[in-house]
Structure 1
Amino acid sequence: MLPVLMFPQFDPVLIHFGPLAIRWYALAYIVGLVLGVILLKRLVAWAPRAASTRQADDFLTWATLGVVFGGRLGYVLFYQPGFYLTHPLAIVEVWRGGMSFHGGASGVIIALALFSWREKLNFLAFSDRVTVCVPIGLGLGRVANFINGELWGRQASDSLPWAMIFPNGGPVPRHPSELYEALTEGALLFTVMILAARRTALRERPGFLAGLFLCGYGCARIFCEFFREPDAFLGFLAFGVTMGQILSLPMIVAGVGLMIHAFRTPRYAGAPLAADHAHDPA
C-alpha cells in the first residue's frame, strides 16, 4: 500500500489587513474576471468583429454582477431552498460560501442578453467570444476550492498515488476532485475553446463556440461528479446521480442545439462596430 498524502494546511486567507482579509477564493474571482476581459479584448479584435474593445471593457461590470448574483441565487434555489426560505437574511451572507456555477452561468447569459440589446450587438457572436474566456475563471476557482479544502472527492483506493486525506473529510483517502475539475473544466476546456476560436470558419458561425462551451463544460462536470463527494445536505439523488450532473444535462442539450443551429444559419460577416476598432491589435 502506498503512503497516503495529507492535505497541505493552506491558509484560506491570502492577506490580512486588520479586520479585513483577502481570501484566495475572492482573488480567484477577481483574477479570472480581469484575465477574461483582457482575452476578450483580443478576441473581439479578430475578424469577424462582434464588438469593440470599449464594449469588451464595459462588459466586465455586467459579467461580475451576473456571476455574483446568479451564482448566489443559483445556490439558494438549486441546493438549499428550504434553509434560505426560513433564513432569508442569510442569502446576502456570501462570505459564508455557497455559489453555484450553473446559477452564475445563468446570470452571465442574462447579462449577455441585456448588454447585447443595449449595445445593439449580435448576441450569439458576442457570446462566442465571452465563453472562450470563461474556463480561465473556472480553473482558478477550482484551485481556490482546493486551497480552502472544500468540495473534496469521494473515497479513493489506498493504492491511488494522489489519494489525499482532507481535514474535514474524515480519516479516509479521497480523490482531490477540485484538481480534476481545474484540469478538465479549466485547462482542457480552455485549450479546446482557444483552438476552436482560432479557426475562422468556426468564428463565422454565431453560437458555435458558445454551444461548444456549454457542451464541453457539461460533459466535464458530469465526469468529475463521479469523483466528487456530493454536498452532505443533498447526497445522491435518484439512480445515484448528483445535482451537478442533473443541472449539466440541459447545458449539453442546449450546447448541441446551438452548434447545429450555427451551421444551419448564414455565416456572420460582422463589420467593425466602433471607431476605436481602428486601434485594435491585429
Structure 2
Amino acid sequence: MTELLAALTIFMGETSLKFPEWSPALFSIDFGFMGLGTFHLRWYALGYIAGIGLAWWYANELLKRPALFGGNAPLDKNGLDDLMFWIIIGIILGGRIGYILFYMVPYQWDLIAADPMALVRIWDGGMAFHGGMAGVAVVLAWFAMKRGVNLFSIGDIAGVTAPIGIGLVRIANFTNGELYGRHTEASVGMVFPEGYVPGSTPPAYNWATGDWVYTGLELPRHPSQLYESALEGWLPLLVLSILIWKFGALKRPGLVAGLFLLMYGTGRSIVENFREPDSFVHTLPQWLTMGMLLSIPMWVGGILLVWNALKSRKN
C-alpha cells in the first residue's frame, strides 16, 4: 500500500507523479554460497508466465463449448496442450530473432561485432513483440498442417487469448521502469528513474541497496506502458470476448484473428506517439517509429483475414 500511495505523491510541482519505487523483482534468492550469484524472480518474467497460463485457461474454456465454433471445436485438451508448448517456443525464438533483425543488425552492428555472444544473451533483454507474433504465426501454420486442423480457427483462439499476456507484460514493463513515454507537461506525466542512459533503455537499479538511480535530470513522461496495456491488451480482450460470447464470432474462422491484428496495430501506432523511441534507432523521421512500421503487416494481414471471414460467411 505504501508503494501504491507513493505513486500518487507529487514530485515535480503539481503536474507530475513519481514512479512508485518498487523492486523490479518479486523476490530474490542469494546463491552466492554456491558460487551461482543471486536469482531474481522479476515481474517481467511473471507477466509472461501468468499471461501464458491464463491464455491456456481461457482457450480451454472456449474449446469446452463446441457451439461457439458452430458445432465442432478445432482442438481437444491434449491438442491445446501441445499447441501451447510450441507457441511458447515461437514467442521466445520469434521475439529474440525479431529483435536481432529489426533492431540489433540495423542499429547495433558495432555491438555485435565487438561481442557476438550478445546475440544469444536473451537474459540481458531484447524481445520484439512483432517478432514474437511472427514466431507464433509460423507455429500455428506448422501445427495446423501437421494436425490437419483449421488454421483460421486456432488463429482465432490465439487472437483472443494473446491480449491477456500483452496486457500483463506491459504492466510488467511499467514496474520495470522501462519503455516509458515522451516528455509531457500534462498532469499524467510521471518521473521515471532514467538512470544514466536517456531514452527507453532500462533504468539503473541498484540491486545491492534496492534503490532506483535518479540523476536529478529526469523529465515527467507519459506512462506509455499503461496506455499500451489498455489499448493493446485489455481493450482487444474485452471487444473480442463480447464478439465471441454474444455474437458468435468464432463461427467465422479468421474473423477474431483479423480483428486482433487490426486492433493491436492501431493501438500500437497510437501509443507510439506517446512512447519514447529507442535511443539507438536514429534514422527514422520523428513522425515515424519502428513500432509503426512493423504494424503495417499486421494491418494488411488483419484486413485480409476479416475480408475472407466475412466473404466466406456471405457465400
Give me the TM-score of the superposition, normalised by structure 2.
Answer: 0.80
Gaps in structure 1 of 5+ consecutive residues: 268-282
In structure 2, the CA distance between the partners of 1:205 and 1:26, relative to structure 1 (3 Å rule), is same
Give the equivalent residue in structure 1 for 2:131.
Answer: 103
Distance in 2 (CA, whole Å) between partners of 1:103 and 1:113 is: 15
Distance in 2 (CA, whole Å) between partners of 1:100 and 1:203 is: 28
Shift of residue 50 of structure 1?
1.5
What does 1:85-104 correspond to in 2, within 5 Å?
A: 85-86=112-113, 87-104=115-132
Gaps in structure 2 of 5+ consecutive residues: 1-12, 31-37, 199-216
Give the equivalent residue in structure 2 for 1:192.
Answer: 239
AA aligned to 1:96 is: D
What does 1:141-156 correspond to in 2, within 5 Å?
A: 141-156=169-184
Q: How many corresponding residue pairs? A: 266
AA aligned to 1:6 is: K
Shift of residue 3 of structure 1?
3.9
Give the equivalent residue in structure 1 for 2:47.
Answer: 28
Specify the SS of the correspondent of 1:161. coil
Higher relative contact order at CA 8 Å, sep ≥6: structure 1 or structure 2? Answer: 1
Please, which of 23, 40, 47 is the counterpart of residue 11 of structure 1?
23
Distance in 2 (CA, whole Å) between partners of 1:172 and 1:260 is: 45
4+ residue segments displaced more than 3 Å: none
Shift of residue 88 of structure 1?
2.8
Specify the SS of the correspondent of 2:187. coil
- Does structure 1 residue 66 correspond to structure 2 residue 90? yes
Deviations along 1:208-240, one digit per CA (max 9) or x if unpaired, are 110000000000000000000000000461362
Shift of residue 195 of structure 1?
1.0
Range that drifts further, 1-10 or 220-229: 1-10
Larger-Rg structure = 2
Deviations along 1:157-183, one digit per CA (max 9) or x if unpaired, are 1xx222111110542111000011011
Instruction: Confirm or deny: 8 A CA contact 1:44 1:129 kept in the other structure.
Output: no
Instruction: Confirm or deny: 8 A CA contact 2:15 2:188 kept in the other structure.
Output: no
AA aligned to 2:42 is: R
In structure 2, the CA distance between the partners of 1:119 and 1:176, relative to structure 1 (3 Å rule), is same
Give the equivalent residue in structure 2 for 1:135.
Answer: 163
Specify the SS of the correspondent of 1:262. helix
Instruction: Confirm or deny: 8 A CA contact 2:17 2:188 kept in the other structure.
Output: yes
Report sequence identity in percent.
40
Give the equivalent residue in structure 2 for 1:80.
Answer: 104
In structure 2, the CA distance between the partners of 1:142 and 1:260, relative to structure 1 (3 Å rule), is same
Distance in 1 (CA, whole Å) between partners of 2:14 and 2:56 is: 44
Distance in 2 (CA, whole Å) between partners of 1:128 and 1:30 is: 21
Distance in 2 (CA, whole Å) between partners of 1:83 and 1:224 is: 30
What does 1:158-177 correspond to in 2, within 5 Å?
A: 160-168=186-194, 170-177=217-224
Please, which of 274, 299, 311 is the counterpart of residue 252 of structure 1?
299
Give me the TM-score of the superposition, normalised by structure 1.
Answer: 0.89
In structure 2, the CA distance between the partners of 1:196 and 1:88, relative to structure 1 (3 Å rule), is farther
